[in-house]
């Protein structure tokens, strides 16, 4: 199974947006040894003043997997207890170029990063538990998307 995004991606609710969609094309991730990236080339729905990806104003989504999967260590021979459980970190990164003022100057890049830290070994031990965690996360992001956008804009939590 390949980890991929299917274009177009349906966006979640945001104040002032109506049925947002994002058409993607495959791109090269900054570290292409363990990442996949897509750039937004077209917008759908109502998203006034939103720009698609350009070299000086990026609009990308990147999926990153661990470069090397960490494994469980060996338990203490006397106690049978594992000294620690390493984590394998997966990431989703969305980058969006923004103009920072009305003055002439460079664009800045806003970045949203979601890390998923999975204890080594658990990916095969409790598949349903991991799927439930990811299901709740996705549903929570979908449900909170507009409110999070409003909070980031207003500064009110």
Give the pLDDT score at 19.
92
Q: Which residues contact 62 (CB under 8 A, 6 or more apart)?
A: 29, 30, 35, 36, 37, 38, 91, 92, 93, 94, 95
Query: SS3 for 143?
Result: helix
Q: For the whole prediction, is pTM greater than 0.85?
A: no
- Domain 9-154: which topology? Porin (2.40.160)
* Residue 96: per-residue pLDDT: 94
Task: Give per-10-residue mean pLDDT for the chain (157 aa).
Answer: 81 90 94 89 93 93 90 88 88 90 82 91 73 79 84 80
What's the pLDDT at 1? 46
């Amino acid at each position: 199974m390949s980890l991929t995004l299917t274009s177009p991606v349906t966006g979640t609710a945001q104040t002032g947006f109506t049925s947002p969609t994002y058409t993607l094309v495959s791109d090269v991730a900054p570290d292409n040894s363990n990442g996949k990236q897509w750039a937004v080339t077209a917008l759908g729905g109502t998203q006034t003043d939103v720009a698609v990806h350009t070299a000086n104003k990026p609009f990308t989504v990147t999926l990153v997997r661990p470069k090397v999967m960490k494994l469980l260590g060996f338990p203490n021979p006397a106690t049978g207890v594992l000294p620690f459980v390493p984590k394998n970190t997966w990431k989703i990164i969305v980058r969006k170029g923004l103009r920072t003022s009305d003055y002439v100057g460079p664009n800045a890049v806003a970045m949203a990063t979601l890390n998923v830290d999975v204890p080594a070994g658990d990916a095969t031990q409790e598949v349903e538990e991991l799927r439930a965690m990811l299901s709740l996360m996705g549903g929570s992001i979908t449900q909170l998307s507009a409110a999070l956008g409003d909070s980031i804009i207003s500064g009110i939590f």
